[in-house]
Amino acid sequence: MIELKSRTHTVDDLGSAIELCYSKGWTDGLPVIPPTAERIAAMLEAGGLKPDQQLSFIENRQVSVTAEKVAINAVMAGCKPEYMPVITATVEALA
C-alpha cells in the first residue's frame, strides 16, 4: 500500500463520512465520495504518480500541490482512476 501523508479521519459509516465532509467545508453542497486510502492509491497508480510528487506550486499562497492532494480531490469529485492522467495534465498546465 502507498504511504499517504494527509491527515486521516475515522468515522462509523458512509453517512458519517459524508457528514464530516460537509462539516469541514470540503464540499459546496454537491455529493462527495469519501477519499479512502484504497481509492487514493488507485488514482495515484492510474496516473503513475508518487504521493509526494509535486504537480504544481501556487506562488501567491506558497503552497505545493502534490499528487496525493490532487488524487484526494479527484476521488471526492467522483472521478474514476482512469481520469487521473488528464487531471494531472490539467493541473500541470494551470501551473
The model's pLDDT over 70-91, given as tens digits with 9 standing for 90+, comes to 999 999 999 999 999 999 999 9
Reply yes or no on whether the pLDDT at 9 is more than 80.
Answer: yes
Query: Residue ranges per domain, the chain?
Result: 35-93
Are the beta carbons of 14 and 32 closer than 8 angstroms?
Answer: no
Reply yes or no on whether the pLDDT at 30 is more than 80.
Answer: yes
- pLDDT at res. 1: 66
- pLDDT at res. 94: 86
The model's pLDDT over 31-67, given as tens digits with 9 standing for 90+, comes to 899 999 999 999 999 999 999 999 999 888 899 999 9
Check residues 3 and 93 and name the one with the higher pLDDT: 93
- pTM for the predicted model, two decimal places: 0.85
